[in-house]
Amino acid sequence: MEFRYEIEGGNFSRAGHASSAVKKILKQLNVDNKVIKRVVVALYEGEVNVVAHAEKGSMMVDIDEQRIRIRIEDSGPGIPDIDLAMQAGFSTASAAVREMGFGAGMGLPNMKKNTDQMHVTSEVGKGTQVEMITWFRQ
Amino acid sequence: MAEQQFYHALKVNNDLCFGCTHCMNVCPTGAIRIRDGKASIRKNWCIDCGDCMKACPVDAFYIEQDDFDKIYHFKYRVALVPAVMIGQFPSNISESEIFSVMRELGFTHVFQTEHTVDVIHELMLEEARSATDKPLISSFCPAVVRLIQVKFPSLVDQIMHVKPPIDTSAIFFRKKLQDEGIPDEDIGLFYVTPCAAKIAIVKSPVKDRPSPVNGVINMDFLYNKVLHGIKNRSGSSTRSPGDNLPNLGPKHISWSLTNGEAPYMKGRCLAIDEIHNVIDFLERVENDEIQDVDFLELRACDESCAGGVLVVGNRFLTAERLRKRAQLFKDIHGMPDDLVPYRDYMKSRVTVETPEPRSMLMLDTDTGVALQKMEQVRKFMCYLPGIDCGACGSPNCLSLARDIVQREAQLSSCVFIQRTMEKHRKLHGDHAIRIIEKTWGKDRLDKDCTKIGAKDEGS
């Protein structure tokens, strides 16, 4: 089953809407609470990344009996050095964004920690794509 | 899934319920459906918050209580009274007057529910020191605990493991009276409740341990009796308010109000009241959006227990009176003297296990089946109008879609779908009326000039 959510760049007040919606779906499917929690943490981080850095983005969610696959795509600045971005604490966020409680440099590392598989591709000046898979049963 | 149901004190009086949508629309867990013209509550979804009772235009909801005469089954008749009981009286009626009249009504002892708050507070601080999963959530409000069980099952581990004051005080006073030489079977402890949720704790005791409370009396009932007693008497009561009424301090007096617990906990603590505010915040906690909060005081009612459905007085005035009283006794600190020797006895008896998650959201326990059902729900939503009028007897279109999938309703329950079916000659007008009568009761659409707002209202 597929779901699609649009993410608006720069609108922090709406950050979390897509992850909330996915959370509600997983609860209805009787997915284990701990798995839901991991998925939602990763999704929320991913959503905030798009809001913080990109002009716009979308989240495609595909769920079957075994797993959830999420693809987040954005049109934005892209990531010049993905390995560096994956390091805990590395951040390019502006002071204004940090003041709002975002931009601590934990986004991508936290997402990786909370998913079973994650793959990031990016093109500078165009955008970033993150694909994550989490299995319902470990 | 429905092996063991919650106990509920909240009931519908079918003679009074005439079938409207007020309760169904306000229920925060979507637990109400209208069938055969009456509201019916889904037992596993209801959290006893009382919002339906507050919204009902014809007072068709009631809270089941014990017969007042039941107190006479016991030689020693103890009333356990929460602070909000006092708070709702006008300020010219004193606390001792209220307690005196309660003794005239037949109670041998009147005790205050918040008497044991210090024991609870100590246990909460201890638990907070060792907890890793933050924020911790107070276990004070039973409606909130149930809300988390049914709607936020992933957060049950964060609920604190301390019993609420009603339980702890009942355990303490029972033990104290026993130690004074009174046989256990002679002690009748009656809790004066401000809401439906607190009754549920009394009536559903944990495991094999019997409840320390013998019965429940609704606060509105006792308020009327006490006020009647005061108004119909010249002069003040001849009965003493009782010798076991130590003045409690500000912490005790305001514990059941909003910001009653939060100021006494360590770190970053928040107090949130009113069920929709609580739901909104828990939604964020569950998403891990809320960082660095240590403790959450969550209460189902606006103005916390002062806004309980059985509290007669205006909730703002009730809270004001208690805050003034707390100010008056601001120099009283610490545990009441008679509780001190029982500190260890109490602490070993007032902890509870983690409440089990009871998600009401799942479409099926089997993920594969649930996925199929969800596909069907989404398909039905393509046809349902999204008006959320409730005329089908479910609170909104999505609920109807889920009810259809769970075989508890049909697509033709929707009045707009009926019109479309009639237009395409797939449904006869008479049949449509029969469907509506199935939801709203027979002859529900007949002319009736006695309904609220109509020509002969009330006659």
DSSP assignment of A12-71, as one string? GGGTTHHHHHHHHHHHHTT--HHHHHHHHHHHHHHHHHHHHH-SEEEEEEEE-SSEEEEE
Alpha-carbon radius of gyration of chain B: 25
pLDDT in the model for residue B11: 92
> pLDDT at residue B92 above 80?
yes
CA distance A62 to chain B (A): 11
Which 3 state secondary structure label does DSSP give B45? coil
CA distance B288 to chain A (A): 6
> pLDDT at residue B250 above 50?
yes
Model confidence at B237, pLDDT cuts 50, 70, 90, reads low
CATH tag for A2-135 (out of 3.30.565.10, 3.30.230.10, 2.160.20.10, 3.40.50.920): 3.30.565.10
Per 3-state DSSP, chain A is made up of helix, strand and coil in percentages (nearest 5) of: 40, 30, 35
CB contact under 8 A, A28 and B375: no
Contacts A40 to B, Cβ<8 Å: 286-288
> pLDDT at residue B380 above 50?
yes
Q: What are the beta bridge partners of residue A119?
A: A131
Residue B453: Cβ within 10 Å count: 6
- In a mutagenesis test of the A interface, which of B286, B288, B291 is the best target, namely the one with the most A β-carbons within 10 Å? B288
Taking only the tens place, the pLDDT of each residue in A50-90 is 998 899 999 999 999 999 999 999 999 988 888 888 887 77
pLDDT in the model for residue B2: 37
**How distant, in Å, are the alpha carbons of A44, A46, A52 from that of A41?**
5, 9, 16
CB contact under 8 A, A34 and B154: yes
Contacts A31 to B, Cβ<8 Å: 367
End-to-end Cα distance, chain B: 46
Domains defined for chain B, CATH in brackets:
10-63 (3.30.70.20), 68-126+161-258+306-347 (3.40.50), 367-440 (no CATH)
- Report the pLDDT averaged over residues B307-327: 94
- In a mutagenesis test of the A interface, which of B366, B367, B373, B402 is the best target, namely the one with the most A β-carbons within 10 Å? B367
pLDDT in the model for residue B157: 93
Decide if B67 contacts B15 (C-beta within 8 A).
Answer: no
Nearest CA in chain B to A36: B154
Angle value at C-alpha B230, between B227 and B234, nearest 5 degrees: 155
- Sign of the torsion angle spanned by Cα atoms B62, B68, B74, B79: positive
Nearest CA in chain A to B378: A1
Cα(B28)–Cα(B13) distance, integer angstroms = 21
Domain ranges of chain A: 2-135
DSSP B89-157: S-TTS-HHHHHHHHHHTT-SEEEEGGGGHHHHHHHHHHHHHH--SSSEE----HHHHHHHHHH-GGGGG
pLDDT in the model for residue B233: 75
CA distance A124 to chain B (A): 29
Compute the mean pLDDT over every residue in chain B, rounded to the nearest whole number.
91
CA distance B270 to chain A (A): 18
pLDDT in the model for residue A80: 87
Which among B288, B357, B364 has CB closest to A40?
A: B288
> pLDDT at residue B274 above 90?
yes
> pLDDT at residue B301 above 60?
yes
> pLDDT at residue B333 above 90?
no
The percentage of residues in chain B with a pLDDT greater than 90, rounded to a whole number, is 73
pLDDT in the model for residue B169: 95
Nearest CA in chain A to B155: A33
B283–A contact, CB cutoff 8 A:
yes
Nearest CA in chain B to A22: B287
Which among A28, A37, A136 has CB closest to B361?
A: A28
- In a mutagenesis test of the A interface, which of B45, B159, B289, B292 is the best target, namely the one with the most A β-carbons within 10 Å? B289
Q: How many C-alpha atoms does A36 have within 13 Å on its Cβ side?
A: 21
A30–B contact, CB cutoff 8 A:
yes
Q: Which of A53-62, B203-212, B280-289, B367-376 has the lowest mean pLDDT?
A: B203-212
Nearest to A54 by CA among A84, A78, A76: A76
Contacts B363 to A, Cβ<8 Å: 28-30
CA distance B109 to chain A (A): 47
CB contact under 8 A, B359 and A30: yes
Select the highest-mean-pLDDT range: A85-94, B41-50, B354-363.
B41-50
B362–A contact, CB cutoff 8 A:
yes
> pLDDT at residue B369 above 50?
yes
**Exposure letters B178-195 (e unless 16+ CB within 10 A, then b):** eeeeeeeeebbbbbbbbb
Taking only the tens place, the pLDDT of each residue in B156-171 is 999 999 999 999 999 9
> pLDDT at residue B272 above 70?
yes
> pLDDT at residue B281 above 70?
yes
Which among B287, B288, B371 has CB closest to A65?
A: B371
A102–B contact, CB cutoff 8 A:
no
> pLDDT at residue B427 above 60?
yes
pLDDT in the model for residue A96: 73
Residue with token string 């296990």: B353
- Report the pLDDT averaged over residues B387-395: 96
A41–B contact, CB cutoff 8 A:
yes
Kindly state the helix (H) or strand (E) to which residue B25 belongs, with its residue range: helix B22-26
CA distance B286 to chain A (A): 7
pLDDT in the model for residue B258: 97
> pLDDT at residue B426 above 70?
yes
Kindly state the helix (H) or strand (E) to which residue B43 belongs, with its residue range: none
Q: Which of B3-7, B38-42, B259-263, B294-298 has the lowest mean pLDDT?
A: B3-7
